[in-house]
Structure 1
Amino acid sequence: MSAPRFIGSEIYRASPFGPRHPLAIPRVSTVTDLARALGWLPGGAYVTSPRARPAALTSFHTPEYVAALLAAEAEGAVTEAVRVRHGLGTLSNPVHGLMFRRPATSAGGALLAAEMVRAGGVVMVPGAGTHHAFADRAGGFCYLNDPVLALLHLRRLGLRRLAYVDIDAHHCDGVAAAFEGDRDLLLISVHEEDRWPRTGALGDEGGGTHLNLPVPRGFNDTEMAAVRDGVILPGLEAFQPEAVIVQCGADAVEEDPLSRLALSNNAHVAAVLAIGAQTDRLIVTGGGGYNPWSVARCWTRVWGALTGQQAPERLEGAARAVLEGLVWPGRSAGRNPPAAWSRTLADPPREGPIRAEVAARIAVVRDRLPGLRQRVWG
């Protein structure tokens, strides 16, 4: 099996979103710079993402939507009819000068990752993970659904039984809709309850192979470990997928402004490594994450763990300079960030009790695993 690969692009250095948009922060570019400063991204590991062609996007998205996205970027505006039908030109999904090329690059990276793991391997694509887009509509900061595109491409490459694990704070509504009733796709989503888009209820089985686990505010590392060992890993064991995509949204980390979960980045690392131990074909994407320091530290740690690196206790030199150079417009924490955000990579553990409501929900999902196995294998 080849060494893990990292797919990135210089396009992520541009900041096309307005200053008030949650994505008006550096994310993928900082992960790339930080990994390089730590010596974790040698030239052979880094792969420049291609841009997906419009025809490749229509394996999931409608031709009308792709055409509307291209036209909106070229013209710098949308009509009211396009806004209503396709969700373009909204506060969440504004018109900007890279609104096709940037997500098409993320999609191209996800498609390339599928090809790279076909024979076995690990690929991280931090620019991918846009799980809210639908076939004919943008949503939730997502213009194209690169996880769906990658899963469909894995199918075209001959891999039938696939798993998608999503630990973003927000439910993966676009992916769930795309694979509703698909017996050969296991979807596991751990997300904050009563958080937009307010889908992925505990009882939503997606036709039989979706394991949704909404969790309460304050969800901690100990509870995540219980979910990992009680739901995610047994679910994968029951399903036996040929490849796994993990959407590793950093918005579940405590410092994120758009959720109220309380994980440390240790939880993300532990989850990705445990999942990776159960498959020979692993794709790890980014996703949500709206605090530039917590995103950079989380995804860089995940990449380091995938490549066998140990996070240093204290950052110095070029690595520290990368984090000290970050800005966070419009946020008080951005004006006076805690020193630990620039001087450390690993968060302190955020452990706590396993609350009764979390234990009960784990039990509900675990009780479904024998039925999942029976439905899958007959």
Structure 2
Amino acid sequence: MTKPVYIYDDALLKYRFNSTHPFNQMRLKMTTDLLMASGHLKTTDIIKPREATDDELGLVHKKDYIEAVKLAGKGELSPDKLENFGLDTEDTPSFEDMHEKSRMLVGATLTAVEAVMEGKCNKALNLSGGLHHGFSGRAGGFCVYNDTAVAIEYLRTKYNKRVLYVDTDAHHGDGVQWIFYHTNEVMTYSIHETGRYLFPGTGSLTERGTEEGFGYAVNLPIDAFTEDDSFLPIFKATLEATIKKFKPDIIFSQNGVDAHFRDPMTHLSLTARTFEEIPRFVNEMADKYTEGKWIAVGGGGYNIWQVVPRMWAQVWLAMNDQQPLRGRLPKSYIEQYEEKCPVEFPLYWEDDLKDYMQIPRRNEIDEKNRSMMSRAMRYLEQE
């Protein structure tokens, strides 16, 4: 089987709300440049994405919503309809050619799916995707179209595959969960900061699916300020238990890195160690249970200078069975970005932990997380 493929084109950078919005796809270019500069990504690894069609978007999105996105991107949708569809909000403002730029991200994820399903590779990465807050008829949380849900439904209907969706973003993967909440043909797994403190406020342990889908939604809401030593055992134990229960044909993972302690929008305390181990464990699980079939996308991550490129690079390295890199970042990468950086620029693959805050409630947080995991494991053991 050939090497993993990396989906990229500069056109993917055009998904941009405005100059002050925290969702900034420059992080995608920076990650690509970092991997190229380090010699671990070559032009021969890269596949250019295609656009998603309206019919493909319609696999999960309602027709009136797709039409609304088209009109909003031309400035032709009335304020009341903008509100009805979750468009032009503070989180998800409308922007020019919104439909065209958003469907590029969906097409990029479908390009990854097709590369795997047509036998070009076992593993594929599209870091521009992972827009897990998009609903079938409404935008939300920086997400217009839900590329992930479209791709999962594409895998289910076109290729008749059982898909396990794995979401390690700090925010609950609500859009994907609700779209597949009624089916037992897709299993959704999300480990995230508890919704008591963080958008979207969902993802409780008791959200387990409904009708035929009961038991096919798995949620692990961890406490604010959770650290590596608490997160990783919960993630590994519950993910493997989920895989054993569902027996997927393919793993589809969303790799938000906003649970990092330096991310400005969440309250978790994870370091690079967790983001090195997450994709390597998923890679191990894919090799063990799904004949190596693994599709990965990006997701959240709002400290684009100090965090996202180094953490996202780990997904590609893991796909290629590479261990985490150590030492100084490539000289050309530092020269390309250090002067532009408004904060202290990272010079090493490892985290600089000088500003890492020790958590005074560590034992209490660990105990709450262990108790939550025990309940989740009992659910997974039920028939």
Contact 1:77–1:89 (Cα < 8 Å) also in 2: no
The CA deviation string for residues 260-283 of structure 1, in whole angstroms up to 9 with x for no partner, is 111123212312221222222101
Whichever residue aligns with residue 273 of structure 1, its letter is R
Deviation of 1:161 (Å):
1.7
* 1:2 aligned partner: 2
Superposition pairs of residues 193-342 of structure 1, within 5 angstroms: 193=194, 194=196, 195-206=198-209, 207-279=214-286, 280-293=292-305, 294-310=307-323, 311-327=325-341, 335-337=342-344, 339=345, 341=346
Shift of 1:233: 1.6
The one-letter amino acid paired with 2:321 is G
Q: CA deviation at 1:319?
A: 2.3
Give the match for residue 372 of structure 2: 361
Deviates more, 1:345-354 or 1:310-319: 345-354
Q: What stretches of structure 1 of length at least 5 have no aligned partner?
A: 328-334
- Show structure 2 runs of 5+ residues with no match: 287-291
Relative to structure 1, is the Cα distance of residues 46 and 345 closer, same or farther in structure 2, using a 3 angstrom cutoff?
same
* Matching of residues 14-33 of structure 1 within 5 Å: 14=14, 16-24=16-24, 26-33=26-33
- The AA in structure 2 aligned to 1:360 is S
Structure 1: distance between partners of 2:258 and 2:340: 18
**Residues of 2 paired with 1:31 and 1:23: CA distance?**
15
- SS of the equivalent of 2:141 reads coil
Shift of 1:254: 0.9
Partner-residue secondary structure (3-state), 1:244: strand
- What is the TM-score when the length of structure 1 is the normalising length? 0.90
CA–CA separation in structure 1 for the residues paired with 2:62 and 2:316: 33
Contact 1:115 1:154 in 2 (8 A): no
Q: Determine if contact 2:283/2:318 at 8 Å carries over to the other structure.
A: no
| Bigger mean CA deviation after superposition, 214-223 or 302-311 | 302-311
For residues 252 and 223 of structure 2, the distance between their equivalents in structure 1, rounded to whole angstroms, comes to 24
Equivalent position to 1:346, from 346, 350, 353: 350
Shift of residue 77 of structure 1? Answer: 5.1
Q: Report SS of the residue matched to 1:177.
A: helix
Q: Percent identity?
A: 28
Q: Show CA shifts across 1:241-300 (max 9, x none).
A: 001111000111111111011112321231222122222210111001111021111101
Corresponding residue for residue 81 of structure 2: 82
Compare 96-105 and 241-250 and name the one that shifted more.
96-105
Which residue of the partner structure matches residue 332 of structure 1? none
Residue 95 (structure 1) aligns with: 94
Moved more, 212-221 or 98-107: 98-107
Instruction: Tell me how far apart the structure 1 counterparts of residues 19 and 302 of structure 2 sit (CA, whole Å).
Output: 13
Other-structure match for 2:38: 38
**CA displacement at 1:346 relative to structure 2:** 2.9
Aligned Cα root-mean-square deviation (Å): 2.0
- State the match for 1:108 in structure 2: 107
User: Are residues 1:122 and 2:123 paired?
Assistant: yes
User: Is 1:142–2:137 an aligned residue pair?
Assistant: no
Distance 1:6 1:76 in 2: 34
How many positions carry a matched residue from both structures?
Answer: 361
Specify the code of the residue in structure 2 equivalent to 1:131. Answer: H
Partner letter of residue 358 of structure 1?
Answer: N
Matched, 1:47 2:47: yes
- Structure 1 residue 229: deviation in Å? 2.3
How far, CA to CA, are the matches of 1:136 and 1:326 in structure 2? 39
Is the 2:215–2:379 contact (alpha carbons within 8 Å) kept by the matching residues of 1? no
Report the counterpart of residue 330 of structure 1 in structure 2: none
Distance 2:251 2:65 in 1: 28
Question: Which TM-score applies when normalising by structure 2?
Answer: 0.89
Structure 1 residue 301: Cα displacement: 2.2
Native 8 Å contact 2:191 2:235 kept in 1: no
Does the 8 A contact of 1:78 with 1:88 survive in 2?
Answer: no
In the alignment, is the contact (CA less than 8 A) between 2:146 and 2:175 conserved in 1?
A: yes
Residue equivalent to 2:183: 182
> After the TM superposition, which of the residue ranges 93-102 and 158-167 deviates more from structure 2?
93-102
**AA of the residue aligned to 1:238:** K
